[in-house]
Amino acid sequence: MKKTEYSGLEEHGLVNLSRIFWNLTTPQLYEEAVRRREGLIAHLGPLVVRTGHHTGRSPNDKFIVKTEDVENDIYWNNSNKPISEENFERLYHRLQAYLQNKEVYVQECYAGADEKYRIKVRVITETAWHNLFARNMFIKVLDLKKLETFEPDFTVIAVPRFHAIPEIDGTNSQTFIIINFKKRLVLIGGTSYAGEIKKSIFTVMNYLLPKQNVMSMHCSANVGKRGDVALFFGLSGTGKTTLSTDPNRALIGDDEHGWSDDGVFNIEGGCYAKVIRLSPEAEPDIYECTRKFGTILENVTINSRTRRVDLDDDSLTENTRASYPLTHLNNIVSDCKGGHPENIIFLTYDAFGVLPPVVKLTLPQAMYHFISGYTAKVAGTEKGVTEPKTTFSACFGAPFMPLHPSVYAKLLGEKIVKYNVDCWLINTGLTGGPYGVGTRFKIQHTRNIVNSILDGKLKDVEFVEDNVFGFLIPKSVPGVPDDVLNPRLAWSDKAEYDKTKLNLAKAFVENMEKYKKDIDPEILKGAPRI
């Protein structure tokens, strides 16, 4: 089908459109966004937009269509809720009718830097700025001739102003994010939060890649001057972006990767960084990206007269975001690919103050902690949370993992063995007591730990085995006081420390109960001893 201003989307049932904007460049999308009053251009060039009611993902509104081809594959749970084909079709037909006589924007791009495993993605949006988001976050098609014959493997249709009718459509609210693997289609409506576009395709890749023996990962990746690759897994607030953005190491990517028999590759072509209270001193590279043309600033406040932004203002949301292409950063791997990792680092923020700042993990422990995906929320960060609260997110990204966690853990274990990877758990949280009593580990100590791991300085140090978790605690780390490495020494009440640590270990074991019958018994050897 020839692509024109007024036709070319009939295969998606989109007809009688007012106009179709095909693969506009960044400056063109800026012009469209301003024409349509979707955002303001800030001082130095970023485009500032608001997402309205939804300032983050809507996990309760995400569904996967239950079709015969995926029914037995999907790990159905609160993150992967089923919806019927009938409900999907009913909603889709109304969405098609809604778009008649409206303008739409189309961006055609890739997901996956490795040509062997990439998919072609078409993103159709109701707004220009969401199309710019897709252009930033996915991988651009540099050969313009390929756009003339581009046939998508997956299509995303994002229509924020179209709403579901829960009583008719079987959704939980007027908002919906629905993945249909049979139709190779994603529908998004009722939300302007752009992260849904990015994460829906990540979910698709987390279904497709493991079937090709490729480990899909919610992690950042960088590479040192001698070609050594490191992976950083961690939930929000654990320091994943900060620690992987290192002036001495080139960034492969900050959030989504695949690991094949050829090495690691980025799934994306951009970054989607939290920017609340971002400082030029602590994160100079990311800070500079918030001041560049082509960057989208989501829910960042702006002075409408001076057009200057305030990154410290959280009046709209704590979850302010910047979307920018990787090329906005100076120290990157241009082809977004690297070799096999030498080190895997799991990051956690332990708000109970009992985990050491660094431990080495055995293979069973690595798989166990990977399935656990532990961190802790602290008082005041969430309504109703008045004391530290354990959070477990399988594979450090449960909302985006459509297969059973054991699938990803098995792949991870196989690759750790095959490529002789060292695995570590780093606690960037508290020491000396729980939240309200303890203090956070110094960032410089954490950086020294990471540097010592990546420089191979911990390969020959002496370790001591933890009596409850069983992992290995180094007795010394360059640039870190020895007493910091043993958190028990930082507590004034040693008995209370022992009790708190045991309670945390019990929480790990309790969380693993729901996976126990489906995982390899070898993984359970990595469990705490309680």
Q: Are 107 and 123 in contact (CB under 8 A)?
A: yes
Nearest to 392 by CA among 412, 413, 376: 376
Q: Which helix (H) or strand (E) covers residue 273, if one does? A: strand 270-274
- Give the residue carrying structure tokens 């640039």: 479
Nearest to 427 by CA among 217, 218, 239, 231: 239
246 to 222, 282, 285, 354, 451: CA distances (angstroms): 8, 11, 9, 27, 10
Q: Are 323 and 296 in contact (CB under 8 A)?
A: yes
Catalytic residues: 57, 199, 218, 236, 240-241, 255, 321
Nearest to 343 by CA among 222, 254, 241: 222
Q: Are 337 and 266 in contact (CB under 8 A)?
A: yes
Nearest to 397 by CA among 255, 519, 269: 255
Q: Angle at CA 450, nearest 5°, toward 448 and 453?
A: 105
Q: For residues 175 and 177, what is the distance between their CA atoms, to the nearest angstrom?
A: 7
Other CB atoms within 10 A of residue 211 CB: 10
Nearest to 196 by CA among 166, 160, 221, 237: 160
Bridge partners of 177, per DSSP, are: 62, 188
